[in-house]
Chain A
């Protein structure tokens, strides 16, 4: 009898061990050894990210849905997301109103050429500040940072006068020339990125190249610039996007003839509806709302395509440049 009791006790214990092991295993699967590895954590993570991603994308979805609605759907409050009838009229209106191909060409000329110039000039300046001997280096670095802080509003009028004296207004040179002289859009930030990158390169590399008889120019263009590939890509992409979207400066310098997409978007309503000229701030006009959203989408479409292809390199590039060290 004693032995029976004992067997029962042992088997209960074994069962208990079994169950507690299973529980342990389930716990590992659900919560994980490390919180961030468990199933539960993953579910919460996905949930949170999806919610935030939805909020993020919501204005873009709104943009697309409004662009595809016809007038009666726009005015109908029961239609929120999916239009009853999908119409392409808004898109064609926007295409016409923006003079899309022409404006696209203008924008692309500015964005691509300025970003290429920025990459080269900012790399040179950054390299000089990081590795070459210059008198008053600290002062120059401080000035670079200062240019990042100065609001464009302070200097826009003098700049306007300078550009008009040089008769550069309404030409792409208004952006190309400052970019060439290291004063393009957010140049200071890019210079600092390059400076950081070149600073992190080991000195022995340069010494080896110098011993082999390479000049500084050769060293820079042959070794340093190719090494900085990822930094170049990051700078190019940021520069491209910021030039593409810039609005404040073109408003001043490119008022007619040569206008980029952002300015044309601003004028879209007047172009499509000349009768409403001058009232655009007083009423929100549903007739052009769809066209405006279509136009907005047409504007961001090319950079999205570029970004989709380069996204992966972009992110790893940022991780590798050591921007943040």
Chain B
């Protein structure tokens, strides 16, 4: 046996000893990632660059390059509008959901008799705020806050924020209960987050004469910035695959149209993903920066 072979063997032995168990634990996920994520993603990217037709026994691909992507903005007169309106709605809904979750979790974090009942109520939407039951309820108009219709808000909003935003705000308001319901997980995250702040800090500032108002702004809020960023991210992803989402519906409709097909639908999905990705990157950047400045002080 030559020297090189022995060294190679020893190296292999060292490698298995060092990484073997770790890779064994990771193996199922790794296989799954390749088969159920990596291949489908590559395939979908491939399809988005082709005109895909369904023929007996499989697909027929015709290379058309970036035409699908261009068509999404040039020929399709529904997609860009839906994308932009949904984005505007999202930009309004995300802060509303997070702020609402923050307020509710602050209240639920107080000590008072019966808080377990209230907690149970506020986690209840986690059970069915997804899926078909929700869209069934909404199609019957059960998701509107009853007294909102009685006050005629539209001219008021028109007057204060201008016409172009009125429609978006009205849509968001008409889904007010949805906002409440989509904050179940976020409330949980905030409550769990508050537990990580040590009570002795509150004790200390109270002895120093800080009011609860001060201690909220000086302690609770700064300490919950990581949870706020986590919640913002979670909310974006959650709304992104939300069942009543018009963009997703449009993508699905296009999959089954003969003139557009899978290739075009994949291109639309990638554009949609790109937008969300940019949004998430922005949020991460923003929160990272604010946390870094805090730390460096």
Cα distance A292–B29 in the bound complex, in angstroms: 39
> Which residues of the partner chain B approach A162 to less than 8 Å between Cβ atoms?
35-36, 39-40
Q: A interface vs B, CB < 8 Å?
A: 34-36, 42, 45-46, 48-49, 52-53, 55-60, 62-63, 66, 121, 124-125, 127-129, 132-135, 140, 143-144, 147-155, 157-159, 162, 178, 180-183, 191, 216-217, 220, 238, 241-242, 245-248, 262-263, 265-266, 284, 289, 292-293, 296, 299-300, 303-304, 307-308, 311-312, 314-315, 318-319, 321-325
Cα distance A103–B37 in the bound complex, in angstroms: 29
Given A36-B110, A56-B122, A245-B132, does the pair A158, B127 have CB atoms closer than 8 Å?
A: no
> Which residues of the partner chain B approach A158 to less than 8 Å between Cβ atoms?
39-40, 43-44, 47
Chain B CB within 10 Å, residue with most, of A36, A248, A324: A324
Contact, CB under 8 Å: A151 / B273: yes
Given A62-B142, A324-B192, does the pair A34, B212 have CB atoms closer than 8 Å?
A: yes
Contact, CB under 8 Å: A121 / B136: no
Contact, CB under 8 Å: B241 / A181: no
List CB contacts (< 8 Å) of B16-57 with chain A: 18-19, 21-23, 25-26, 28-33, 35-37, 39-41, 43-44, 47
Cα distance A158–B46 in the bound complex, in angstroms: 11
> Which residues of the partner chain B approach A216 to less than 8 Å between Cβ atoms?
21
Nearest-neighbor residue (CB-CB) of B129 within chain A: A245
Cα distance A247–B136 in the bound complex, in angstroms: 12
Nearest-neighbor residue (CB-CB) of B117 within chain A: A53
> Which residues of the partner chain A approach B277 to less than 8 Å between Cβ atoms?
149
Question: Which single member of B122, B196, B206 contacts A53 (CB below 8 Å)?
Answer: B122
Give the interface segment out of B67-75, B161-169, B247-255: B247-255
A308 to chain B, nearest CB (A): 8
Cα distance A58–B137 in the bound complex, in angstroms: 11
Q: B interface vs A, CB < 8 Å?
A: 18-19, 21-23, 25-26, 28-33, 35-37, 39-41, 43-44, 47, 104, 107-108, 110, 112, 116, 118-128, 130-133, 136-137, 139-140, 142-143, 145-146, 176-177, 180-181, 188-189, 191-193, 195-196, 206, 211-213, 226-227, 230, 237, 240-241, 243, 248, 251-252, 255, 262, 265-266, 269-270, 272-273, 276-277, 280
Contact, CB under 8 Å: B33 / A147: yes
**What are 5 contact pairs spanning A and B, CB under 8 A?**
A45-B107, A155-B43, A183-B33, A265-B132, A293-B140
Given contacts A158-B39, A293-B140, A304-B124, 11 further A-B contacts (CB under 8 A): A147-B33, A159-B36, A238-B126, A245-B127, A245-B128, A262-B133, A266-B132, A296-B133, A307-B124, A311-B116, A312-B116
